[in-house]
Chain A
Amino acid sequence: MRAPALDPTTGVGRLRFRRHPTDRLATGVAGGLAARWRADSYVVRFAFVVLALAGGVGVLAYGVAWALSEPPGADDVADPVVPERSVAIGLCTVAVLLVLRSLGLWPGDGIMASAGIVALGAALMWHGDRRPRSSVDPFERLVTGQFSLPRVAGGLLLVGAGLVGLNGDQRLSSVPRIGASLALAVAGVAVVLGPFAGRLVRDLRATERERIRTEERAEIAAQLHDSVLQTLALMQRSATDPRRMVLLARRQERELRHWLYGASAESTTVRDGSRTLAREAEAIAAEIELDHDLPVELVVVGDHPMDDAATALLGAIREATVNVAKHAGADDVAVYVEVNEASLLAFVRDKGCGFDPTAVPGDRHGIDASIRARLQRVGGRARLETAPGAGAEWELEVPA
């Protein structure tokens, strides 16, 4: 026997072909054959399937084809499909089927008629769809497609196949046959109505998204109106008082930040809505800025649930900070709170006038005493470091 001549362009024997690298469901054999014959790959696929029903001839043919095929080439250029060739392959398949029928390789007229109609319907639907198989899943194709003649025709053929199955060959036991027929009919309806259902779902989703967006916009507008716009108006009226302007701006900044970032801006360790040392410290800082016109630079490291120790510490922080606001004449106050394993620690520092701790006026002494007493009750301590002209710093500590 003569060796098959080599095709000069592909380097593949004339009887042989390359499996298709992208147009593939299993191995690319059908895609390769289709490319070779310039036919639609789905026609080839359905031919194999229908022939497989007829005594397994399709399986055998597929095996032979696979044996004759070569691995896919790197850059196979696909020639355009010629529709007549697809039709020719379909007719050849019918001819082979008739031969097989006369040979007795035949499961029954009803089944083969149904299968043939399904194949025809499906081939109509997918005909001309040259998108890579991997990029679009079949269900998506089903619901995103447009109404078209092939689609409607294909769907109706599926319904018809189901009906033929219902009325056809009686040799099979009826339950699976009726089930399969109903499934075919349902599939046909789904194919016809798929785009409609898909569009309906998309429209509903779009409406819902638009509603959520509108609500969010309304909420943001309300928030900005209540806060930022009010503050800007107040600032315009306070233009002659720079200190007041700064405080208005700071208060608004704190409020807006809280609204934008919520709890995450304050505390990284406690995220639920409960009261914690960090949150309460934020609240105190905001309150003092508001009541005493004193900017408070607050830094909190770690967090702690509110208990007697935390409450005492916060009380002491508040008094120390108010003390700064009333007496120190400082531009701002820095408050640092740290939670470690052994204790809760706070520093309240100002760069104001400072004072001589041994010769303080009465009301100051009272505040000092109450800060110390407050912490001593929960086993803590307070230490004050200050000198005239050198600012002041409280170190406050309670056991955790």
Chain B
Amino acid sequence: MSPPRVFVVDDHALFRAGVRAELGSAVTLVGDTGEVDAAIVGIERERPDVVLLDVHLPGGGGRAVIEAVRTTTPDTRFLVLSVSDAAEDVIGLIRAGARGYVTKTITRDELVDAIGRVRSGDAVFSPRLAGFVLDAFAGDLPAPTDPDLDQLTPREREVLRLIARGYTYKEMAARLHLSVKTVETHVSAVLRKLQLSNRHELTTWAADRRLL
């Protein structure tokens, strides 16, 4: 498989330069910018496989970028790279359609791995985000509007706990006697629930911070 075509959107020029130098040959960088409008134009022109997207951007934030190109370039996938691992920063972006979230302290190899995963349509959670999802989906709802979306299966819960405990997908697969593919399927299912569920915790979290 050819290296993924990656577009970087981050308003810190230093960080963009760092990512360019670090990713090097592992990916094909097709562009980078620090502005929402330029990002929208660039993404629509280059149609990258993966966009590395910062949460906070002048002129609307990462969410504005995702929403603007969602219909024009549906095949482009978004990986949120944030300096903050506050869940409220990222929940809005995940609910807007991002496939994954990692902090900027991630190592180079982990980042390359995460880009590959997001490109192939899988989900990438940081330990902290896994912890947040477990928090948000804790307990039974008195009357879930959609049990398929509003509750995690025991297996999904197990997978999230292992992410929070610092396990890689490979280590998880070995521990749970599953294939890596099956682990990825579980994580993707959790991502879908995170995006579509109307669970009270998710909506109030996001609404409190005017993310919805």
Contact = CB atoms under 8 A, between A and B. Distances in A.
A139 interface: no
Given A336-B165, A336-B166, A299 B131 contact: yes
Given A265-B86, A301-B131, A301-B135, A334 B161 contact: no
A297 B127 contact: yes
A68 to B, nearest CB: 51
- Interface-central residue, A299, A300, A393, by most chain B CB under 10 Å: A299
Interface string B129-166: 01100110010000000000000000000000100111
Interface residues of A, number: 19
Contacts of B164: 299, 301, 336
B70 interface: no
B166 A334 contact: yes
B84 A336 contact: no
A213 interface: no
Contact of A302 (B86, B138, B166, B167): B138
Nearest to B127: A299
Contacts of B166: 297, 334, 336, 349, 351
Interface in B87-121: 88, 105
Nearest to A351: B166
- Interface-central residue, B128, B134, B135, B138, by most chain A CB under 10 Å: B135
Contacts of B165: 299, 334, 336, 347, 349, 393
Contacts of B105: 250
Nearest to B205: A268
A272 B154 CA distance: 32
Contacts of A268: 135
A81 B138 CA distance: 68
Interface residues on B, range: 10 to 19
A337 to B, nearest CB: 9
Contacts of A301: 131, 134-135, 138, 164
Nearest to B138: A302
A268 B132 CA distance: 9
A338 B134 contact: yes
B183 to A, nearest CB: 17
A340 B140 CA distance: 12
A271 to B, nearest CB: 12
B184 to A, nearest CB: 21
Interface in A230-288: 250, 257, 261, 264-265, 268
A193 B167 CA distance: 72
A261 B84 CA distance: 10
Interface string B157-190: 0000100111100000000000000000000000
B86 A336 contact: no
Contacts of A299: 127-128, 130-131, 164-165
A393 B167 CA distance: 11
Contacts of B135: 268, 301-302
A347 B134 CA distance: 15
A327 to B, nearest CB: 18
A268 B88 CA distance: 11
Contacts of A264: 86, 88
Contact of B131 (A250, A261, A336): A336
Interface string A285-314: 000000000000101111000000000000
B164 to A, nearest CB: 4
A338 B134 CA distance: 9
Nearest to B129: A299
Contacts of A265: 86
A334 B127 contact: yes
A336 B138 contact: no
B133 to A, nearest CB: 9
A299 B128 CA distance: 6
B205 to A, nearest CB: 8
Contacts of A349: 165-167
A268 B138 CA distance: 12
Interface string A326-340: 000000001010101
Contacts of B134: 301, 338
Contacts of A347: 165
Contacts of B127: 297, 299, 334, 336
B129 to A, nearest CB: 9
A300 to B, nearest CB: 7
Contacts of A257: 84, 86
Nearest to A267: B135
Interface in A28-44: none
A349 B162 CA distance: 11
A302 B135 CA distance: 6
Nearest to A300: B131
A268 B86 CA distance: 11
Given A250-B105, A299-B164, A301-B164, 20 more contacts: A257-B86, A261-B86, A297-B127, A297-B166, A299-B127, A299-B130, A299-B131, A301-B135, A301-B138, A302-B135, A302-B138, A334-B127, A334-B166, A336-B131, A336-B164, A336-B165, A336-B166, A340-B138, A349-B165, A351-B166
9 contacts: A297-B127, A299-B164, A301-B134, A302-B138, A336-B131, A336-B164, A338-B161, A349-B165, A393-B165
Top-5 shortest CB links A-B: A334-B166, A299-B131, A299-B164, A336-B165, A301-B134
